[in-house]
Chains A and B, each alone.
Chain A
Amino acid sequence: MIDVNRRVLPGFRLSLGYTLLYLTLLVLIPLTACFLKAAALPLHEFVAAVWTPRARAAYALTFGASFAAAFANIFLGVLVAWVLVRYEFPFKRLFDTLVDLPIALPTAVAGLVYSSLYVKAGWLGRFLVPIGIQGSYSRLAIVLVLTFIGLPFVVRAVQPVLDNLDAEIEEAAACLGATRGQTFTRVIAPSLLPAIVTGFALAFARGLGEYGSVVFVSGNMPLKTEIAPVLIVAALEEFRYREAAAIAVVLLVASLTMLVLINLLERWSKGNGN
């Protein structure tokens, strides 16, 4: 049924008009300005700005660390979601609530506490540093804090799917002689795959853009532990606006691609879910 409600319920023009106006002022015009500013650079200067060794190292680190963190979250997230959906245990409610902390906690706080936990005198660093694990001011530190940031995305993507999984398919697998392990790998995991992919993509996209927590824990050493958004801030502090805009365009294109991909994935997993 096409626009059945349009004539009956009031406020279509007002609500749509306001929405479009707000998005235009807050999003479209500023984003266009960014592209225009970057376009003011001649092509060779644009390339020179976005493709320096320092910038390449930063892109590689941003993508690599986000990927590593999102990949780790596939396993951690599915484990947490599985335990939450399938088992009853004390303090389960608290457990469930804690999963959302990374979404509600300001990233600066996450960065601050992660940087203090893994230094030599920190609660976790005092065990890890002696055995050679540097969880602070290192690439590992970035992966750790991005894992924290991305965890809820995987858990909350997998949890409802696991919850709605038909118990009968597992019973059928058991009747046909499958062990629990076989049932998991051959029956359950394939059904969870679309949700896992969505959760992974969300966590990965969140990692790509993350700034607040990473600047605390990474130490921001060029070529080593410097992520791409830091380049923009550095360019801005030196008043090189067009270079900043150029790097921003590269990041924007990457994140818009991710957004499109996530939307396609969500559609795909919805299609597969039914």
Chain B
Amino acid sequence: MAIDITSAATLTRRRAQEESAIIRWGLIGLATVVLGVLVLIPLVNVFYEAFARGPRVYWDALFNDPDTLSAILLTLRVAPAAVVLNLIFGVMAAWAIARFRFPGRTLLTAMIDLPFAVSPVVAGLIFVLIFGLQGYFGPWLRAHDIKIIFATPGLILATSFVTFPFVARELIPLMEAIGPEEETAAVSLGARAWHLLRRVTLPNIKWGLLYGVILCNARAMGEFGAVYVVSGHIAGRTDTMPLRVEKLFQEYNTAGSFALASLLSSLALVTLIVKTALEWKTRTELRSRLRESLLDDSTDAEAIVRTPHQRTTRSSGHYGANQPRPDRREEKPGLGISVKNVTKRFGSFVALNDVSIEVPHGELLALLGPSGSGKTTLLRIIAGLDVPDSGSILYQDEDATHRSARDRNVGFVFQHYALFRHMSVFENVAFGLRVRKWKEPRIRERVHELLSLVQLEGLAQQAPSQLSGGQRQRVALARALAAEPKVLLLDEPFGALDAKVRKELRSWLRKLHDEIHITSVFVTHDQEEAFEVSDRVVVMNHGRIEQQGAPEEVFEHPANAFVMDFLGNVNVFHGRVEGGRALLGSFEMAYPDYPHDESRPVRAYVRPHELEIDRIPRGRSSLKADVLRINAASAAVKVELFAKEFGVPLNVELTQERYSKLQLKTGDAVFVFPKRVRVFVEDYQI
């Protein structure tokens, strides 16, 4: 049975609606009777019958009957062989099915369930039909004196058939629940297949794997129907334990059959105990993970504020002995990364449409855009975690399009950290160095260097689950930087953190970049974050670049209505342009960009601080409005007005000075006029 993950969260929830005590205890009693009669009494009966004649008879029945003894030994040979075969199969099948998408995947998954539906007798028969004397290979096998049916190989085949789903069925849902993030992170840190399996995947799935193996073993030892058909029932040679139970039963040897049955029942009990223990373990782990995610992130904001980075006062470009430094070769000016005409489709969805970007060496670039704009896809393509349909990626003018993530030497910081949960902070940071076979003393030196850089020196031996969100993000950053990557890529690095920690980490990242000057690209949907942190911003929408430039440039001169809209916090007016003038209700202004006579719809954008309020009208571009709400509890006074002419609310920001001069009150009728208007002819649809 699959370990039930969903029930962990609801385990302690009490129901408000409950039956009366009589019904409740009645139902409990009834259920106890059902389970007692069906399960418990039979179980007790096995052991009672086995020991009823005393321990001496029990011992003789098991170990002084040569046929029984040989059955036990045969089972101990057959079951482990089948388990090993199915263990390898289970891991392989789970890796293919849980980690990749391919045609026929559903069919393959259904095929793994086949033995659950096929009668074991049929399973035995199909092997007899192939390898038996009258089977397809029978004569050939006989000629070469190879015995499969009525011999151990046949028993192993039949047992393997019946038990092959067990390991795979445990692992597939488990691996799907864990997700591929940690493995993707390991690949981006340079891990090869063997490292990945041994150091990341296996430690994560070990309990599920153990349970799958134990269940597989229990079924392999207990298999009856399939083995019955292929064994030929040769006492002392091809009888396994369950077959021997049947033979003793037919011979009315109650003591013998029950003694052997008690041995098999003990095996079942051990299986159940291990299952219960593993489930309990999984649940506690899940619970602690739930608790972690509820941890208040604000606790570590303080730590960062208190310890501003001491080295930030040094001139940038000068590196202390303990600091990571970029490769000297890279210090020549030039391009860090260039993306040339990249297009990427997912089915019919165009994620990137002929995108080109150049990132100068040492620059910190922000990819800004709404979700679905293609920014994360672009970042993954730069990292080598995705492959473009066309176009190329250059690292320092070398074509890297077909280099794997491992060979590109990039540092990638994942949105949800993707820390290896079974490794300490130290081991997480050391991972990229170990897979590159660094020497132990160098690893230790480098990891401590990085932990001091991200201000987490004291936490080297902690598990990731003991850290707060902000601390985890810094570990992820240290891990990405450890192997001295040429570029650093960050996917929504602060997306999973709360507002306060996000702000602190932002300015901290900026300072860090000023120090280590590594070519960096980070993805965000938060314009404030992009403007505050980056040297240059690329605004994306629908797989295309809308605008790129320095933060001030993009903010002051948005290239089009989309960028203006996306940057947000702006008043929108709808109007028309014709003959070089823009007409927005009672506003009217020159618009030389459109000298044509044909009238076209436009949108005009005015930011709140670009609107002025007065009590008297000023010329032709004043708008009548009523004051709805005033919020004076910040540096800029926020006034919300309603303009009847446009039927829309307006937001205006005034200085405290201007506000006290006007003596505004809610309900006042005033005039609003713009200091600056940006007009875009409507050529795009949201």
Contact between chains at A183 and B17 (CB < 8 Å) = yes
Nearest Cβ in chain B — how far from A200, in angstroms?
15
A146 to B16, CA, bound (A): 37
Among the listed A30, A105, A262, which residue makes an inter-chain contact with B265, where contact means beta carbons less than 8 Å apart? A105
Q: Which stretch (A43-51, A189-197, A208-216) binds chain B?
A: A208-216
A230 and chain B: residue at smallest CB distance? B121
Which B residues are in CB contact (< 8 Å) with A156?
1
Which A residues are in CB contact (< 8 Å) with B30?
79
Among the listed B99, B119, B192, which residue makes an inter-chain contact with A209, where contact means beta carbons less than 8 Å apart? B119
Which B residues are in CB contact (< 8 Å) with A23?
108, 111-112
Among the listed B28, B196, B268, which residue makes an inter-chain contact with A101, where contact means beta carbons less than 8 Å apart? B268
Contact between chains at B276 and A97 (CB < 8 Å) = yes
B19 and chain A: residue at smallest CB distance? A180
Which A residues are in CB contact (< 8 Å) with B249?
112, 115, 216
Which A residues are in CB contact (< 8 Å) with B164?
22, 26
* A98 interface residue per 8 A CB criterion: yes
* B258 interface residue per 8 A CB criterion: yes
Contact between chains at A5 and B119 (CB < 8 Å) = no
Which A residues are in CB contact (< 8 Å) with B160?
26
B130 and chain A: residue at smallest CB distance? A33
Q: Mark A167-182, 1 if CB is under 8 A from B, else 0.
A: 1001100100000100
Q: Mark B26-52, 1 if CB is under 8 A from A, else 0.
A: 011011101101111111011001000
Among the listed B95, B100, B272, which residue makes an inter-chain contact with A97, where contact means beta carbons less than 8 Å apart? B272
* B6 interface residue per 8 A CB criterion: yes
Contact between chains at A27 and B111 (CB < 8 Å) = yes
Which A residues are in CB contact (< 8 Å) with B19?
180
Q: Mark A29-53, 1 if CB is under 8 A from B, else 0.
A: 1110110010000000000000000
Known contacts A10-B196, A97-B272, A113-B45; A212 and B224 CB within 8 A of each other:
yes
Nearest Cβ in chain B — how far from A191, in angstroms?
14
A79 and chain B: residue at smallest CB distance? B31
B115 and chain A: residue at smallest CB distance? A27
* B245 interface residue per 8 A CB criterion: yes
Among the listed A11, A206, A232, which residue makes an inter-chain contact with B125, where contact means beta carbons less than 8 Å apart? A232
Which A residues are in CB contact (< 8 Å) with B516?
none
Contact between chains at A124 and B7 (CB < 8 Å) = no
Nearest Cβ in chain B — how far from A255, in angstroms?
4
Contact between chains at B34 and A9 (CB < 8 Å) = no
Contact between chains at A79 and B34 (CB < 8 Å) = yes
Which A residues are in CB contact (< 8 Å) with B39?
98-99, 101-102, 148, 151
Nearest Cβ in chain B — how far from A17, in angstroms?
9
Nearest Cβ in chain B — how far from A141, in angstroms?
13
A251 to B111, CA, bound (A): 17
Contact between chains at A37 and B129 (CB < 8 Å) = yes
A259 to B122, CA, bound (A): 15
Contact between chains at A209 and B27 (CB < 8 Å) = no
Contact between chains at A109 and B245 (CB < 8 Å) = yes
Nearest Cβ in chain B — how far from A98, in angstroms?
5
A123 to B46, CA, bound (A): 11
* B551 interface residue per 8 A CB criterion: no
* B73 interface residue per 8 A CB criterion: no
Which B residues are in CB contact (< 8 Å) with A86?
15, 18
* A256 interface residue per 8 A CB criterion: yes
Which B residues are in CB contact (< 8 Å) with A26?
157, 160-161, 164
Among the listed A33, A107, A112, A160, which residue makes an inter-chain contact with B129, where contact means beta carbons less than 8 Å apart? A33
A167 to B17, CA, bound (A): 8
Which A residues are in CB contact (< 8 Å) with B40?
98
* B180 interface residue per 8 A CB criterion: yes
B17 and chain A: residue at smallest CB distance? A170
* A221 interface residue per 8 A CB criterion: no
Contact between chains at A33 and B193 (CB < 8 Å) = no
Among the listed B7, B180, B192, which residue makes an inter-chain contact with A163, where contact means beta carbons less than 8 Å apart? B7
Known contacts A26-B161, A95-B32; A251 and B119 CB within 8 A of each other:
yes
Q: How many residues of A contact B (CB 8 A)?
A: 106
A88 and chain B: residue at smallest CB distance? B14
Q: Which stretch (B214-222, B470-478, B608-616) binds chain A?
A: B214-222
Q: Mark A247-274, 1 if CB is under 8 A from B, else 0.
A: 0100110011011101100000000000
Contact between chains at A171 and B101 (CB < 8 Å) = no
Known contacts A105-B268, A209-B119; A8 and B385 CB within 8 A of each other:
yes
Contact between chains at A174 and B17 (CB < 8 Å) = yes
A156 to B257, CA, bound (A): 31
Known contacts A3-B100, A106-B268; A205 and B116 CB within 8 A of each other:
yes
Residues of chain B from 195 to 244 with CB closer than 8 A to chain A in the complex: 196-197, 215, 218-219, 221-225, 228-229, 241-243
Among the listed B16, B28, B93, B404, which residue makes an inter-chain contact with A171, where contact means beta carbons less than 8 Å apart? B16
Contact between chains at B261 and A113 (CB < 8 Å) = yes
Total of A-B residue pairs, C-beta within 8 Å: 322
A50 to B148, CA, bound (A): 28
Contact between chains at A241 and B132 (CB < 8 Å) = yes
B254 and chain A: residue at smallest CB distance? A116
Nearest Cβ in chain A — how far from B445, in angstroms?
30
* B347 interface residue per 8 A CB criterion: yes
Which A residues are in CB contact (< 8 Å) with B34?
76, 79-80
Residues of chain B from 158 to 215 with CB closer than 8 A to chain A in the complex: 160-161, 164, 180, 183-184, 187, 192-193, 196-197, 215
Which A residues are in CB contact (< 8 Å) with B102?
3, 6, 12, 16
Known contacts A5-B184, A211-B225; A117 and B42 CB within 8 A of each other:
yes
A148 to B606, CA, bound (A): 75
Contact between chains at A236 and B130 (CB < 8 Å) = no
* B118 interface residue per 8 A CB criterion: yes
A16 to B109, CA, bound (A): 12
* B310 interface residue per 8 A CB criterion: no
A264 to B483, CA, bound (A): 49
Nearest Cβ in chain B — how far from A3, in angstroms?
5
Known contacts A11-B95, A170-B15, A229-B225; A106 and B35 CB within 8 A of each other:
no
* B631 interface residue per 8 A CB criterion: no
A97 to B134, CA, bound (A): 45
Which A residues are in CB contact (< 8 Å) with B35?
80, 95, 98-99
A259 and chain B: residue at smallest CB distance? B117
Known contacts A8-B187, A26-B161, A113-B261; A212 and B130 CB within 8 A of each other:
no
A3 to B180, CA, bound (A): 12
B123 and chain A: residue at smallest CB distance? A30
Which B residues are in CB contact (< 8 Å) with A1?
101, 346
Contact between chains at A113 and B101 (CB < 8 Å) = no
A95 to B127, CA, bound (A): 39
Residues of chain B from 449 to 491 with CB closer than 8 A to chain A in the complex: none
Nearest Cβ in chain A — how far from B554, in angstroms?
30
* A164 interface residue per 8 A CB criterion: yes
A85 and chain B: residue at smallest CB distance? B7
A144 and chain B: residue at smallest CB distance? B38
Known contacts A79-B34, A255-B117, A263-B110; A31 and B13 CB within 8 A of each other:
no
* A82 interface residue per 8 A CB criterion: yes
Which A residues are in CB contact (< 8 Å) with B578?
none
Which B residues are in CB contact (< 8 Å) with A30?
126-127, 129-130, 161
The 5 closest A-B pairs by CB, nearest first: A106-B222, A212-B224, A209-B119, A211-B225, A30-B126
List 28 interface pairs A-B (beta carbons < 8 Å), by A numbering: A9-B196, A11-B197, A23-B108, A23-B112, A26-B157, A29-B130, A30-B130, A79-B30, A80-B31, A83-B31, A96-B276, A97-B272, A101-B272, A103-B1, A104-B267, A105-B222, A105-B264, A106-B242, A106-B264, A107-B222, A108-B222, A108-B243, A112-B258, A117-B42, A209-B120, A211-B224, A229-B120, A259-B113
> Which residues of A approach B to under 8 Å, CB–CB?
1-12, 14-16, 18-20, 22-23, 26-27, 29-31, 33-34, 37, 76, 79-80, 82-84, 86-87, 89, 93, 95-110, 112-117, 123-124, 147-148, 151-152, 156, 159-160, 163-164, 167, 170-171, 174, 180, 183, 202, 205-206, 208-212, 215-216, 228-229, 232-233, 236, 239, 241, 244-245, 248, 251-252, 255-256, 258-260, 262-263
A sample of 11 more A-B contacts (CB under 8 A), given A5-B99, A112-B258, A212-B120, is A1-B101, A1-B346, A8-B385, A26-B161, A106-B224, A108-B243, A109-B245, A113-B45, A202-B116, A211-B224, A251-B122
